[in-house]
Amino acid sequence: MGSCSVALAQESPAVGREAALALRFRDLEFVPPEVQKHTLQSGVTVFHVVDPSLPLVAIHARFRGGYALLPRESYAAAMALPGLLRSGGTAGLSPDSVDHLLDFYAIQLTLGAAGESTFSSLNTLTKHLEEAVELWAEILARPRFDSLEVEIWRGRQMEDVRRRKDDPTRLAFSEFNRIMFGDHPTGWEMAMEDLSPQRLSSPALAEVHGRILCPDNLILGVVGDVPWERMDPLLERLAEQLPTCSGPLPEPLAPRMREEGGVYLIPRKLTQSTVVLAQPGGISQTPDPDYFASRIGNAILGAGGFSSRLLSRVRTEKGYAYSASSVWTTPAGYEGIVGAVTQTRAGTTIAAVQLILDIMEELRNAPPARAEVDQAVAQIVNGFVFNFQDLTQIVAQQMFYLAQGLPEDWLSIYLRGIQQVEPAAVLRVFRQYVDPRNMVILILGDPEAFDLPPEVLGEVRIWQVEGAG
């Protein structure tokens, strides 16, 4: 795994506080581990690191493809796919038989999905590697989609849809996404229509499986006590068992975000208000200097914890909220959003919003202090080591960079870019990409208990929650 070397402190005759303050260290030096990159006969890329410290092997599979790359009619099936791969059995094994084999060989198996990817990982004792990979291939390549398990999943999701409006925070975030992103996967929420028998049938699940879990979409990573000579034929066999892709997946569709600001109110008789405000953020994940400046700017604004301006002013100085934070998302393929979120007492709702907007405006009017930038840089750089706590993290990162089209040495590029950010660059990105006067502001709360009429923030639109009676 990665290592950081630090020189011994200079010898000093002093003791106590003076000795501690006099300590000097050489700069940390990051030495990346050796990650071998292989290509299977099927064209699948594999990242491999030998780790003989324990008789264990971890294998990670990342498939390009998720609900965001499929039509809305496939949303529920794509969301259900990972869970049903695990619980629904295989063509030759019942769900109980799969559970028995996983327990017998002490195999840890995970499956999950994000908007544009589906993933799985396998952890096994080295002595059971062949049996584990064979079972894993059976689960991934030949799922049964047991009808009882499908109905159990459907029932849980239907109950979740019914109860969604009972959680104010979740409701606020989901409705903000609907306002901001409209009919785009980022704004989708599960609905009863999605859970119809036609959209969550065995043929529908099989169709989604055939689009995603195939060799053309696959990247693999291996960490553990196993040489490549033993691992290679097992992975070749795994790739051979996966079905050929039933059709190509489209490129991710960039969302058409709401560009016009405005105030949206979801009236609820609550003692606490949830506030979400944002606008298109203008920046994606690239080596451009603006990207690195936005990371420091986001930390200074509200993502840097207690040292950030939002938390120190909204919580510590004014006592409006227990927490307030900023968000500046940077997807790899298109721009994200920039904004802030907080929860505050109903009687301080408008004051909290106004303060957040004022803090954003301050960062547009003058560069942050050098000390603020240095602190934000130090937080990110000092936390950098946590990217290398184990070899599995490093291999997973390499898989992610390949999937996102980023350079293999992206971590080094990122670290250098962060260290080069100047206060003037932070000012530049705030002036170019952040406009507090044009934010989409969603407030979920009781307007009769607000400290001021919400109209002081702009024209107010009452937002109707889908499915509300």
Q: What gap in Å lies between CA 116 and CA 255, rounded to an integer? A: 14
At 162, which helix (H) or strand (E)? helix 147-163
- The residue extents of the domains of the chain are 36-241, 262-462
Q: Which CATH superfamily is domain 36-241 in?
A: Metalloenzyme, LuxS/M16 peptidase-like (3.30.830.10)
Are 23 and 9 contacting, i.e. CB atoms less than 8 angstroms apart? yes
Tell me what pLDDT residue 30 has.
58
Burial code (b: 16+ CB inside 10 Å, e: under 16) for 200-221 equals: bebebbebbbebbbbbebbbbb
Kindly report the CATH number that applies to the domain delimited by 262-462: 3.30.830.10
Burial code (b: 16+ CB inside 10 Å, e: under 16) for 268-305 equals: beeebbbbbbbbbbbbbbeeeebbbbbbbbbbbbbbbe
Tell me what pLDDT residue 250 has.
92
Tell me what pLDDT residue 11 has.
52
At 300, which helix (H) or strand (E)? none
Burial code (b: 16+ CB inside 10 Å, e: under 16) for 123-150 equals: bbbeebbeebbebbbbbbbbbbbbeebb
Q: Helices 410-419 and 391-404: crossing angle, nearest 10°?
A: 90
Q: What gap in Å lies between CA 291 and CA 227, rounded to an integer? A: 39
Are 36-241 and 262-462 in the same CATH fold?
yes
pTM as predicted: 0.86
Residue 191's CB: how many other CB atoms inside 10 A?
16
| DSSP character at residue 429 | H
Burial code (b: 16+ CB inside 10 Å, e: under 16) for 251-261 equals: ebeebebeeeb
User: CA-based Rg of the chain, rounded to a whole angstrom?
Assistant: 25
**What's the start-to-end Cα distance of the chain, in Å?**
55
Averages of pLDDT over runs of 10 residues in the chain (469 residues) are: 42 67 71 84 96 96 96 96 95 95 97 95 97 97 94 96 92 96 93 95 95 97 97 97 92 92 97 98 95 97 93 95 95 94 97 98 98 94 76 90 90 92 98 97 98 97 76
Tell me what pLDDT residue 6 has.
42
Tell me what pLDDT residue 27 has.
67
DSSP-derived 3-state class of residue 407: coil
